[in-house]
Amino acid sequence: MKVLADYHTHSRYSKWYHARHSIFQMAERAKELGLSEIAITDHGPKHLFYGISPKQLDKAKKETIDATNKLGIKVYMGVESNLLGQDGQIDLTDEQIKKLDILLMGYHKGTKTNFIKYFDKKNRNTSEQIEKNTQAYLNAIERYPIDIITHLNEYIRVDTKRVAEACAKKGVILEFNSKHMKFTDDDIKILIDSGVNFVVSSDAHNKKRICDVESCLELIKKYNIPLERVKNIDKLLELKQK
């Protein structure tokens, strides 16, 4: 299995040195590793600690273009946006989304949301809570041109079957994240049966971890996940039009 791209990485635009290297340094390392593409997907702006400033989006986009031209590796400008409410809202406007090459979305702790009461730790695994979480994901998938859902079931549980089937229907990819892997055996079976496609992701916050996806590859082997459904192994992802 040859990994051709890493579509979930972070740069210094994630505030407070949450990530260690510049866009150019990340792209340079990706090229050294033999990747054909890399996406820089800093945290969405409503993350209280690490979110990219909306004022920096244009500057970051320019840096991805410059790195592409100088290094000869395709560098995508993206954001790992945050799920904010049960209505599916994320922390980017339509105009901001249009500036992106790739849009990732997930739920993160430390995000300023309008539904904290829905995601509290005490009740997060109740059937009522899981239903609310699931509706939030389903609404976001319907509402936005999301390319990849990040670390599903990491911080809050959802109805995996319904979310996976919605992703398959809309052409949204689910990631296997080497840092955040919370899928159960039952979850994996559901994902395979749903027909959804996947990517393997490093979630790298420094250049040394780019394409560090060995645990994801082991999972693919263990569960005999069809390689044609893993969209950055032996092939490149076809991104949606923003």
List Cβ neighbours of 14 (8 Å cut-off, separation of 6 or more): 42, 43, 50, 51, 52, 205
Instruction: Look up residue 82 and give its two tokens.
Output: 């945050």
d(C-alpha 133, C-alpha 129), whole Å:
6
The DSSP annotation for 126-145 comes to SHHHHHHHHHHHHHHHHHS-
DSSP one-letter string for 194-209: HT--EEEE--BSSGGG
Per-residue pLDDT, 14: 81
Task: Report CA 127 to chain centroid distance, whole Å.
Answer: 26
The pLDDT assigned to 32 comes to 97
Sheet holding 37-43, edge to edge: 5-9, 37-43, 74-82, 102-106, 148-149, 173-177, 198-201
Q: Could you give the 3-state DSSP secondary structure of residue 212?
A: coil
Domain 5-229 has CATH 3.20.20.140: yes
pLDDT tens digits, 184-214: 999 999 999 999 999 999 999 999 999 999 9
Query: SS3 for 29?
Result: helix
- The residue type of 241 is Q
| Of the candidates 164, 180, 169, the residue with the CA atom closest to the CA atom of residue 107 | 180
Question: What sign does the CA torsion over 63, 65, 71, 73 have?
Answer: positive
Measured in degrees and rounded to the nearest 5, phi and psi for residue 131 equal: -65, -45
Burial 198-209 (b: 16+ CB within 10 A, else e): bbbbbbbbebeb
Q: Evaluate whether 100 touches 93 at the Cβ level (below 8 Å).
A: no
The per-residue pLDDT of the chain, averaged, comes to: 91
How crowded is residue 169: how many other Cβ atoms within 10 Å of its Cβ? 13
Is 217 in contact with 176 (CB distance < 8 Å)? no
Positions of the chain with pLDDT lower than 50, given as ranges: 116, 118
Model pLDDT, residue 115? 52
